[in-house]
Amino acid sequence: MDSKAQLTVDIIAKVADGKITFVNAARLLNKYRRTIERYLEKYRKVGLQEKAELSARLTPFRTDSSLS
């Protein structure tokens, strides 16, 4: 997992824990608030699976239909 993907997973985990807000996460990741909401939704669906898998699911523009 590259450092950008790791950062995304870590920030989304902090949003899920209530440590930072959607707005702050969006600023840190240079994404729209709605994108952070989608990432968090995927994060919650995945649950406790390995972070590398989660990172692949959070990567935008992924064309693999099995992740949808």
What pLDDT sits at residue 24? 96
Spatial CA neighbour of 28 closest among 13, 42, 43: 13
For helices 33-46 and 51-58, what crossing angle results, to 10°?
140
What pLDDT sits at residue 40? 92
DSSP 68: -
Sign of the Cα torsion 32, 33, 36, 38 reads negative
Task: Give 10-residue mean pLDDT values along the chain (68 residues).
Answer: 84 94 95 94 74 62 50
C-alpha–C-alpha distance, residues 28 and 33, integer Å: 11
What pLDDT sits at residue 68? 46
42: tokens are 């995927």
Whole-structure pTM value: 0.69
